[in-house]
Amino acid sequence: MVRSISRLFLAVPLAMLALLGSCSQPEFSDDEKAVIASLSLASLPPLPPDTTNKYADSPAAAALGATLFFDHRLSRDGTVDCATCHKIDRQFQDDIPRAVAAGTNARRTMPLAGVAWSPWFFWDGRRDSLWAQALGPLEDQVEHAGNRTAYARFMARNFQERYERIFGPLPPLEGLPDNAGPFGTAAERATWAAMSPQQQNAVNSVFANIGKAIAAFERSLTPPETRFDRFARALAAATPPAPADDLSGEERAGLRIFIGKGNCVRCHNGPRFTDGHFHNTGVPSVPGLAPDLGRETGVAKVAADPFNCFGAFRDGSDAACGELRFMVKDGPELRRAYKTPSLRGVAGRPPYMHAGQIATLEAVVDHDARAPASEDGHTELTPLTLSDRERKELVAFLKTLGE
């Protein structure tokens, strides 16, 4: 009898502990489940068409683009290709604070997985299509550092047959200077300015098609499924996740903070964990670098880009140019605003922010919770009180986005 009573008294606290444990991790509400489902790759819409690039879904163009992506000769000194910064085994980025190619960039490399779903490109949105984005680094003097006529001649010399099977006959390039372009050395800029509009147009058409081929390849780079996605799929189906896919209590608590108290989904929403837009979050500048105003200068650059949606090298009609037509062109919200990065795989690509200013995920959570004032413009963040435990939970959840 005494033994039975002892067992009873032992069972009561154990039962209470179990009950308290279940109370600490309640089931997700229907509203929470809907938000979690919206973050899953299962909610990723079909690859959006790019009507400005009629070769976007051409297998031949994608194959040529893949060749060009990994070709070191597509640079001034023959040592830089797209994969110099977009490394295939590192989520198509490079793990360093600021990209290093022909020189050192002022910003860090963005990963490419899922990039075809973006409305704007680069940290400041200075390009409005994936193919126009692919052209920028080719002429940037700290990246590939090349010039347009050299690239056109390179295609004629090495890929004429493949080029013409996809894009049609190359324009006449005889008599054109070996090196000329609107960027690059003073001599190259002067030579470009001396070329006739017809000559410039011929070179620009080949240059644009290089971008369209590379973009066709980059459209194939999609985010891999993660443990979070498998957990979200099971949650939506109301079935138990496989043990290897389940989230721990700490990770579930972090997910709840992410979609609730932390309001991280305000900007990091959708299946790519980004709204694709631009925000000032009070990230400090890098000492020694020129002032970087982010989207404020990006809008001027995209409007002036000859390869933008309104330009002569766009395929299709300007009906596809809604983003460019209705973009916000000025206002205080643009100053030091940068594109929201995707959080997929985020734990595997420190450091963070547009120039690698923050070293760890823990430090990012601390920054966002403190919401420091922006050194220029106004931060959109507001201070948030998070306990040490809640910070650890949030970081634990973020790590599930790359497993």
pLDDT of residue 25: 54
Contact (CB, 8 A) for 139 and 101: no
Q: Are residues 155 and 262 in the same domain?
A: no
Q: Are residues 213 and 228 in the same domain?
A: no
Q: How many Å apart are CA 66 and CA 51, to the nearest integer?
A: 21
Q: Are residues 197 and 84 in the same domain?
A: yes
Q: Are residues 199 and 103 in the same domain?
A: yes
Q: Are residues 276 and 370 in the same domain?
A: yes
DSSP H helices, 263-377, are 295-304, 322-325, 361-370
Q: Give the up-direction half-sphere exposure of residue 259: CA atoms within 13 A in the CB hemisphere.
A: 22
pLDDT of residue 26: 66
What H or E segment, with its residue span, contains residue 339?
A: strand 338-339
- Range 69-74, long-range pairs (CB < 8 A, 24+ positions): 69/214, 69/217, 69/218, 73/154, 73/158, 74/138, 74/144, 74/146, 74/151, 74/154
- Within a domain: 301: no
Q: Is 387 left (phi over 0), alpha (psi -120 to 50) or beta?
A: beta
- Within a domain: 321: no
Q: Are residues 33 and 73 in the same domain?
A: no
- Within a domain: 320: no
Q: How many Å apart are CA 302 and CA 304, to the nearest integer?
A: 5
Q: Are residues 134 and 228 in the same domain?
A: no
Would you say the C-alpha torsion 355, 356, 362, 367 has a positive or negative sign?
negative
Cα→Cα distances 143→92, 108, 265, 384, Å: 16, 12, 33, 39
For residue 292, give both structure tokens.
Answer: 């970087």
Under 8 Å CB-to-CB from 241, ≥6 apart: which residues? 230, 231, 234, 235, 247
Q: Are residues 132 and 241 in the same domain?
A: no
Q: Are residues 137 and 286 in the same domain?
A: no
pTM for the whole structure: 0.92
**C-beta atoms surrounding 233 within 10 Å:** 17
- Within a domain: 244: yes
pLDDT of residue 403: 83
Q: Which of 202, 218, 234 is the last residue of a domain?
A: 218
- Within a domain: 253: yes
Q: Are residues 211 and 339 in the same domain?
A: no
- What is the full per-residue pLDDT of the chain (403 aa) written as tens digits? 444 434 433 344 433 333 333 344 568 999 999 999 999 999 999 999 999 999 999 999 999 999 999 999 999 999 999 999 999 998 899 999 999 999 999 999 999 999 999 999 999 999 999 999 999 999 999 999 999 999 999 999 999 999 999 999 999 998 999 999 999 999 999 999 999 999 999 999 999 999 999 999 999 999 999 999 999 999 999 999 999 999 999 999 999 999 999 999 999 999 999 999 999 999 999 999 999 999 999 999 999 999 999 999 999 999 999 999 999 999 999 999 999 999 999 999 999 999 999 999 999 999 999 999 999 999 999 999 999 999 999 999 999 999 8
**C-beta atoms surrounding 198 within 10 Å:** 9
Q: Are residues 187 and 278 in the same domain?
A: no
pLDDT of residue 217: 98
Q: How many Å apart are CA 353 and CA 320, to the nearest integer?
A: 30
Q: Which of 218, 237, 256 is the last residue of a domain?
A: 218
CATH number at residue 274: 1.10.760.10
- Within a domain: 87: yes
Q: How many Å apart are CA 298 and CA 290, to the nearest integer?
A: 15
Q: Are residues 229 and 177 in the same domain?
A: no
Query: Which residues on neighbouring strands pair with residue 87, listed in sequence order?
Result: 93
- Within a domain: 257: yes
Q: How many Å apart are CA 315 and CA 341, to the nearest integer?
A: 28
Q: Which of 160, 143, 22, 10 is nearest to 74 (CA)?
A: 143
Provide the angle, in degrees to the nearest 10, between the axes of the packed helices 30-39 and 249-259.
90
DSSP secondary structure code for residue 374 in this structure = P
- Within a domain: 72: yes
**Number of domains forming the structure of the chain:** 2
Q: How many Å apart are CA 235 and CA 32, to the nearest integer?
A: 11
pLDDT of residue 52: 98
Give yes or no for a cis peptide into 271 (omega within 30° of 0): no
Under 8 Å CB-to-CB from 180, ≥6 apart: which residues? 147, 148, 149, 188, 191, 192, 195, 203
Residues of the domain holding 184: 59-218
